[in-house]
Chain A
């Protein structure tokens, strides 16, 4: 029949850059170098301790906070805020994006307003949210949800507008309409872009978390930052920054796995 090469199995040869241990090791080189340089400069006295505490001091601060249960508490409360805010913001972004991307009428009605709201800088919301919702969990989660909303909204509307028209027409020709057309053709076609949007939204959620916690909180990594700033605890500031980097990268890696799976499954 027609060429049947496709059934032939893949060749087992793989380059070094495609092996997982090589990838993990390669990614760790730069952080290790940075820590080594940090250790070296503090040990040689290039900077005073007031300017840059040594890695060991940051570690001691971490152990101290951990022993008193504060570090776990800060990480837990920050992660909880990010997750709740992200889920709410992403769900609303998905809904609004689907509405604007699929319906011309809602595009005309909603898109300009949402576009204008997107242009508002994140910190501009803070005083308003503090007055309306007070310094509680609601104000922080709302700010994080605002942060997570826009990346999802933007990618979903864009992706839905660019779904292959021919596929949609083929779906229509086979009797699919409305919700069934959406779930059979349009939604699967945009799943990879939706997950990329979620990834951006999660990064944005961590950004907005710190903004929210810096301005009014009694717990969380942002509070740790502002509190240590007031007390001049440079070691704790560095600790909080490292914790944010690690948590952000971890959550991003988790979504990255999902993105890879989706790219394989849905395209």
Chain B
């Protein structure tokens, strides 16, 4: 109950300072992080698409009810341009619904979503979605599938060049002419990511994009996503149930869940992830955050190993 209030005050604070979510970052690591990303974008070489855009996404009191059963309620959140936001939650908590609402694939029962200041109404051309399954058209080649993501009215030669560039970015140039069933699951998921990027989206919405992949492929895909974001720092909303993935990729993590005695999930925790990307997967600071987020997901932490007190420079929410 008090969480919701805390979150909204925190958000108004960040809006006022104009530095996005990193304004709440006590270490200032996030700010350096972003500057470095921008620098990376200008020097990223041939794989950086021209005319890259990143939009603000604002959720204002968003709620969604399915058959009189509230699934989401009172989600108020602002995502800064170029920010990577991870949405964590237990399965069935409505995190995918939140993403679908942002994409315009679903409409909120209450509240509004604004992208770059204008309300989302129906499928939004400024967004691109990456689904949990690759969802490639089986009768098209990989490159024709990627071309499906190109904005309408793209000239044929410009489109072909863009597709080739994206396939190179995701390492699929050698498989451009293959059919989806002829490539592995990880490759199909990379093709799906390339298709989303072909839209040159101002907001990239990823719904557990690596959830169906094996553990090693998932780690590689996470690094690929970081490379892609460094090359073209768009706003990313990433739905995941994997706490490590959230901490590895995101600037900020929100945890969706139900509050006691109230139906419908809302934002229960909000964590600004310290440190610049790519982050050390074994960092102690992240381990502390990980424990806290897992606790929020209802996973028992099982105490402090070998009696060592868990120390962290990261202050507890709400800072």
Contacts and interface: CB of A to CB of B under 8 A. Distances in A.
6 contacts: A2-B186, A6-B175, A7-B175, A169-B105, A175-B125, A267-B138
A1 B168 CA distance: 13
Given A6-B178, A167-B135, A170-B135, A175 B183 contact: no
A184 B140 CA distance: 10
Interface of A: 1-3, 6-7, 166-167, 169-175, 177, 184-185, 188-189, 265-267
A266 B139 contact: yes
Contacts of A167: 135, 137
A185 B137 CA distance: 7
A188 B148 contact: no
Contacts of A265: 139
A169 B138 CA distance: 15
Interface residues of B, number: 29
Contact of A7 (B105, B174, B195): B174
Contact of A175 (B123, B138, B175): B123
B184 A3 contact: yes
Give the interface centre of A1, A174, A175, A177 by most chain B CB atoms within 10 Å.
A174
A189 B139 CA distance: 8
Nearest to B129: A173
Contacts of A184: 137, 148
A166 B134 CA distance: 10
A162 to B, nearest CB: 15
Contacts of B171: 1
A175 B103 contact: no
Nearest to B178: A6
A265 to B, nearest CB: 6
B139 A2 contact: no
B133 A6 contact: no
B15 to A, nearest CB: 29
Contacts of B182: 6
Contacts of A173: 103, 105, 123, 128-129
A177 B129 CA distance: 16
Contacts of B123: 172-173, 175, 177
A188 B137 contact: yes
A267 to B, nearest CB: 6
B131 interface: yes
Interface in B151-203: 151-152, 171, 174-175, 178, 182-184, 186-187, 195, 199
Nearest to B170: A1
